[in-house]
């Protein structure tokens, strides 16, 4: 697709990978709107990168419905939805609380579903669209402490396969992106230390991969890709 002039909505776009994706799309000439729960951070980021903003929580159905409706009212259509909003809670199975599992799924799974559902209504009507779901390499392999986070990304991967099969007949491309470890604030928020490195991935690499697959001619698409650091050690 030609990105110049395309209308793109990026959830969780205030920081980290979401901000990197939004900034890259703005650089390609897209009209970009980012979403987030915290108004001040959202508006600061939007101003800094030249994007619009809509405050809301993707895991709240009314917010998701309103966000997509507001976006389409502003721009007349939606060409790209990047489902990036997500977070993690990690811990042993025997210590995992139901409310923690539900909170992770509320954003990572239900939020992605709600945003995809609302965008898909417009994609089908338009006969075109691009749905990009940001999962994780944690969606490919489970690990200790990953009951909530890994399982949510497995669920997102499964939903993506269903949506891909359903929407291809409407000329909608559904793409799953699995980043490996990326240097963002994610780890600090979950109480884990992340050692910085010139070799580890940055949001820029994930954004570059997404721009690359979106710019492919509309007759083809990449169903799924994983992005690893070449040599992070």
At residue 98, φ and ψ (nearest 5 deg) are -60, -40
Structural domains for the chain: 7-227 (3.40.50.720)
> Quick check: 119 pLDDT over 80?
yes
Return d(Cα 43, Cα 33) in angstroms, integer: 11
Cα angle for residues 34, 40, 41 (degrees, 5° grid): 55
> Which pLDDT does position 190 carry in this prediction?
65
pTM: 0.94
Q: Which of 90, 149, 163, 186 is catalytic?
A: 149
- Band (196; pLDDT cuts 50, 70, 90): confident
- Band (194; pLDDT cuts 50, 70, 90): low
> Quick check: 191 pLDDT over 70?
no
- Band (192; pLDDT cuts 50, 70, 90): low
* CB contact at 8 A, 87 and 111: no
> Which pLDDT does position 187 carry in this prediction?
62
Q: How far is CA 28 from CA 1, 15, 196, in A?
A: 12, 19, 28
First-last CA distance in the chain = 36
Q: Average the pLDDT over 117-132 and give the result.
A: 98
In DSSP notation, 149-213 reads: HHHHHHHHHHHHHHHHHHHGGGTEEEEEEEE--B-SSHHHHTT------SSSB-HHHHHHHHHHH
Return d(Cα 9, Cα 54) in angstroms, integer: 10
> Quick check: 146 pLDDT over 70?
yes
Active site residue 149: yes
- Write out the two tokens for 189: 């928020």
> Which pLDDT does position 33 carry in this prediction?
98
């Amino acid at each position: 697709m030609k990105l110049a002039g395309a209308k793109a909505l990026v959830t969780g776009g205030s920081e980290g990978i979401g901000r990197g994706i939004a900034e890259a799309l703005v650089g390609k000439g897209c009209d970009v709107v980012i979403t987030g729960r915290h108004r001040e951070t959202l508006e600061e980021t939007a101003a800094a990168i030249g994007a619009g903003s809509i405050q809301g929580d993707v895991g709240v159905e009314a917010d998701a419905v309103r966000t997509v409706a507001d976006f389409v009212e502003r721009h007349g259509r939606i060409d790209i939805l990047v489902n990036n909003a997500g977070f993690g809670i990690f811990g042993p199975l025997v210590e995992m609380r139901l409310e923690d599992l539900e909170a992770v799924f509320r954003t990572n799974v239900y939020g992605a579903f709600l945003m995809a559902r609302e965008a898909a209504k417009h994609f089908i009507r338009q006969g075109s669209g691009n749905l990009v779901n940001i999962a994780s390499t944690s969606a490919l392999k489970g690990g200790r402490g990953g009951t909530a986070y890994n399982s949510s990304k497995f669920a997102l991967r499964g939903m993506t396969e269903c949506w891909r099969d359903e929407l291809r007949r409407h000329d909608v491309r559904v793409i799953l992106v699995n980043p490996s470890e990326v240097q963002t604030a994610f780890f600090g928020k979950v109480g884990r230390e992340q050692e910085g490195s010139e070799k580890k991935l940055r949001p820029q690499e994930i954004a570059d991969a997404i721009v690359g697959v979106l710019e492919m001619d509309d007759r083809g698409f990449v169903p799924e890709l994983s992005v690893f650091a070449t040599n992070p050690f």
